[in-house]
Structure 1
Amino acid sequence: MAARKRAQTATTTEQEKPKSQDPTTATTKTATTTTTSSNEPPTAPLKSKTSFILKLSLLLLAPYFYLIFHHYNIDRDLKKSILINAVLSLVGFFVTVKIIPVASRYVLRRNLFGYDINKKGTPGGTLRVPESLGIVVGIVFLVVAILFQYFNLTSDSNWLVEYNAALASICFMTLLGFVDDVLDVPWRVKLLLPSVAALPLLMAYAGHTTIIIPKPLIPYVGLEILDLGWIYKLYMGLLAVFCTNSINIHAGLNGLEVGQTVVIASAILIHNIMQIGATTDPEYKQAHAFSIYLVQPFLATSLALLSFNWYPSSVFVGDTYTYFAGMTMAVVGILGHFSETLLVFFAPQVLNFLLSLPQLSGLVPCPRHRLPRFDPKTGLLTGTNDGTLVNFTLRLLGRKSEKSLCIVLLVFQAIACCLCFALRYFLTGWYK
């Protein structure tokens, strides 16, 4: 994440003296509870953008509800399970909205807050913004996903092991993300964390290791289906690494981290229901249904977080959320057997990674914050030479406000997902 500058504690105890730090590094830890200064900066007001979230939800989920209730003839029992999961997810949305303000007070008490660099030089740049609120989303999501097992899974279910392994990987990644927020882990170490967190799912994975050859390439390959064996599992592990880190580095604007995951999660839901409606294979349907069971609560809790994180942000999501979101989407892609399609949904993140590669590899100097240049007089952002999609878009389109730039990037994300549907139809003939 790069949208904020973490603050240091106002005071320290005698037991722990402050060490020399980079001025942009994380909060200084104290051995005992710190006391707050009487002249500490004000806190950003907690405002939920409920009307915006409602409009966004209707826009993104209208195709999904049309397909499941009207276009496809979904099996009654399967539809019932999906609706039960949707109701639990809706409950998770309201619980998350209620818990975030409470959690914000606790993280502020422990000096886990930051300042918005994109508002530096304005009154908004002096406000303390609670940090690491992605932990609330992760906890509520896990509770909803675990409770749903009571309604859908039996103790002898073939999917129970993989489902719990998926939850273990997501839980592991959420924990590691929160550890990163607190300890400020070096970015080279961050590359290894998703590999460790993905181990429970990879070890329990019992699905196929094959890929479908695109129709235009079948005459040249000579096969319709290719079994990759252990190479496929290696690919899944690398996919988990890419998803978590790509969400983390495509950041820097209020609402961008959560917004991109909401768009991708909506596309995943639509993809799953289209695959269920287009096949008669029960096992294939069940795989995509299990993907839906995880994506619906993930999307609901993320929308609740977005209501506080949208411009102007009342909370920051932290690496906790970006890691949690990336691992969740990697898990549903693996569990739903559409990891190749998932990678196409991540086209903007792939482009951002390619633009960032020279700096991430050390070929070009890489500053801690690769943000656009903010002009406090006009309130507009100007692109810098840093290799990010945010800066590239500004250099291409010219100066923009933070809110409008975030909207442009999210529209680009939605267009990429729509092109993915068209590409998959052209290559495989699905979605009839």
Structure 2
Amino acid sequence: MAVFNSVEFHTFGSAVSIPFPLIVNVIISVGAFYVGQKLIPKMKTMFINANLSGIDMNKSSKPRIPEAFGVVTGCIFLISLFLFIPIPFVRDFSLNSQGEFPHNKFVEFIAAMLSICCMILLGFADDVLNLRWRDKLYLPTVASLPLLMVYYTNFNSTTIIMPRFVASFVGTSLNIGILYYIYMGMLAVFCTNAINILAGINGLEVCQSLVIAGSIIIFNLIEIFSGHCKEAYEFSLYIMFPYVGATLALWKYNRYPSQVFVGDTFNYLSGMTFAVVGILGHFSKTVLLFFIPQIINFLYSVPQLFRFIPCPRHRLPKYDPSTGLLNFSRTQFRTSELNILGKFCYYLFRHARIIKCEETEDGIVTCNNFTIINFAILFTGPIREDKLNNVLIIFQLVCSIFAFAIRYPLAHYFYETIN
């Protein structure tokens, strides 16, 4: 049986070889986009009839919008991966002179889909059952276990490269053993929740995910054309292209003004997908670089996330129907009622001037909620929802450019070798 290995394209006098499975993967990804584009509008009524809907609080008409459409995108994404399964593995089996099936690669791919499928299920359960915050922390850890087991059986590399300034004390590399697996489990928890807490305006979850996904794709292509660990980065592209195709279709209907809401299902799906390619593609630290805005938002939100400062259920910006603009939302508390960590965070943030506070004579403090969405409104003033989304996505893009600068030009000043 004849099996294509790659296809060559000639551009500007030089030949570029593209693996045949990658071409098929891109075609399937385009198909995922068109299927999502046709399917999503047809299912809006079905979701509303099933009472899977929510009120868009940032519109004067308060329309009822179908919710949890991340499950539709997730299903399209998974089906795309299912259809792609035979392509790379049949090729590898046919080209292998010893007639051995690439079991390790196959198990990696199946484990990746299993973890992603688990997070789609858990995300949809959250949308329907409204799970508690502590459930959102340990469920991604459980869903990442297939990944960690495959990593253990196929690689079990727990050595990290040390920066130059500590290499003279501990050596150029250090084996941290089980701590590396704890780090990867925490990566899955962080990725799934980081997108979830940076949300609340039309299109923001989808846009930031597309920027992260695009950054990962560009990084993979740079590494492949540089000749570094080609198989690992091709594996990442096999997952990222269908994800982008399915997500672009969702973005068409979720951007301002939203016709559908994505729900926690999409946030969990996206976070686990990024964790999967980072862990099994062996660039988990680089993936974190593309989460700089999410890391900043998490650190800024810590006082409220851990209840040092009172945290309302929803921290999304407040809509002003008289102007049609968004203002930052607020929380209230008495400083005398805060514990020592709450008081420390409050005075630290206040003196750093990263929150806007008003305090009455009887000790009641009113300040903005601790998210970078509200923080952005502090700088811009009242702003339209679509323009606020643009500001935050531009910030995401700038951070991605900065991440590439850290990963390539700057990294050589701190590391002897980079992996």
**Which bin holds the TM-score, normalised by the shorter protein?**
0.7 to 0.9
Matching of residue 212 in structure 1 with residue 161 in structure 2? yes
Aligned sequence identity (%): 47
Residue 379 of structure 1 corresponds to 324
Q: Which residue of 1 aligns with 2:146?
A: 200
Matched, 1:99 2:39: yes
Q: CA RMSD in A?
A: 2.1
Q: Does 2:108 correspond to 1:172? A: no
Where do 5+ consecutive residues of structure 1 fail to align? 1-67
Which range moved further: 149-158 or 328-337? 149-158
Please show how residues 406-417 of structure 1 align to structure 2 within 5 Å.
406-417=389-400
How far, CA to CA, are the matches of 2:320 and 2:209 in structure 1? 28
What SS is found at the alignment partner of 1:117? coil
Which one of the candidate residues 399, 402, 420 is aligned to 2:382? Answer: 399
What are the within-5 Å matches in structure 2 for residues 18-167 of structure 1? 76=17, 79-119=19-59, 122-123=60-61, 125=62, 127-154=63-90, 156-157=101-102, 158-167=104-113
Q: Judging changes above 3 Å, is the alpha-carbon distance between structure 1 residues 278 and 116 closer, same or farther for their aligned structure 2 residues?
A: same
In 2, the alpha carbon distance for the partners of 1:245 and 1:415 equals 22
Q: CA deviation at 1:222?
A: 5.6
Tell me the SS of whatever aligns to 1:114. Answer: strand
Residue 373 of structure 1, CA deviation: 1.8
Matched-pair contact (CA < 8 Å) for 1:74–1:277: no
Residue 224 of structure 1: aligned partner = 172
Q: Residues 112 and 276 of structure 2 are in contact (CA less than 8 Å); yes or no, is this contact kept in structure 1?
A: yes
Q: Tell me which residue corresponds to 1:182.
A: 128
In the superposition, relative to structure 1, how do residues 143 and 74 fare at CA in structure 2: closer, same or farther (>3 Å)?
A: farther
> Are 2:270 and 1:357 aligned?
no
Q: 1:405 is matched by which residue type in structure 2?
A: L
- The separation in 1 between residues aligned to 2:292 and 2:129, in whole angstroms, is 31
- CA distance in 2 between partners of 1:69 and 1:192 (Å): 50
Query: Contact 2:325 / 2:382 at 8 angstroms: preserved in 1?
Result: yes
Q: Matched residues in 2 for 1:294 and 1:260: separation?
A: 18
Q: Distance in 2 between matches of 1:309 and 1:406?
A: 12
Do 1:211 and 1:225's aligned partners in 2 also have CA atoms closer than 8 Å? yes
Match of 2:259 in 1: 314
Q: Is the contact between residue 68 and residue 264 of structure 2 (CA under 8 Å) also seen in structure 1?
A: yes
What SS does the aligned partner of 1:211 have? strand
Q: Answer whether contact 2:167 2:173 (CA < 8 A) is retained.
A: no
CA distance in 1, matches of 2:159, 2:381: 45
Structure 2 segments unaligned to the other structure (5+ residues)? 1-8, 94-100, 330-367
Superposed CA deviations along residues 184-236 of structure 1, whole A, max 9, x for unmatched, are: 1111211111011111111111233333334x436545633333322111111
1:190-339 counterparts in 2 under 5 A?
A: 190-205=136-151, 206-207=154-155, 208-214=157-163, 216-217=164-165, 219-221=167-169, 223-280=171-228, 284-339=229-284
Cα deviation for residue 105 of structure 1 reads: 1.9
Q: Deviations over 1:344-381 (max 9, x none)?
A: 11010011111111111111111011011211111111
How far 1:268 moved relative to its partner? 0.2
TM superposition outliers: structure 1 runs of 4+ over 4 Å:
68-71
Could you say which residue in structure 1 is the equivalent of 2:314? Answer: 369
For residues 262 and 69 of structure 1, what CA distance do their matches in structure 2 show? Answer: 29
Which residue is equivalent to 1:44? none
Residues 70 and 168 (structure 1), Cα distance of their counterparts in 2 relative to 1, 3 Å cut: farther
More strand by share: 2
Q: Is the 8 A contact 2:318 2:328 kept in 1?
A: yes
Q: Give the distance between the partners of 2:23 and 2:377, measured in 1 at CA.
A: 42
Displacement of 1:322 in angstroms is 0.5
Change (3 A) 1:128 1:279: same
Conservation of the 8 A alpha-carbon contact between 2:69 and 2:263: yes
Paired residues for 1:341-356 under 5 Å: 341-356=286-301
Q: Is the 2:140–2:189 contact (alpha carbons within 8 Å) kept by the matching residues of 1?
A: yes
Displacement of 1:103 after TM fit? Answer: 2.3
3-state DSSP of counterpart to 2:58: helix
Match of 2:411? Answer: 427
TM-score, normalised to structure 1's length?
0.78
Partners of 1:182 and 1:70 in 2: CA distance: 51
Counterparts in 2 of 1:219 and 1:407: CA distance versus 1, 3 Å: same
Structure number with greater Rg is 2
The alignment of Structure 1 onto Structure 2 pairs a total of residues equal to: 355
Q: CA–CA distance in 2 between the matches of 1:288 and 1:140?
A: 23
Paired residue secondary structure (1:153): helix
Q: 1:267–1:70: structure 2 CA closer, same or farther, 3 Å change rule?
A: farther
Q: Which TM-score applies when normalising by structure 2? A: 0.81
CA contact (8 A) 2:10 2:16 kept: no
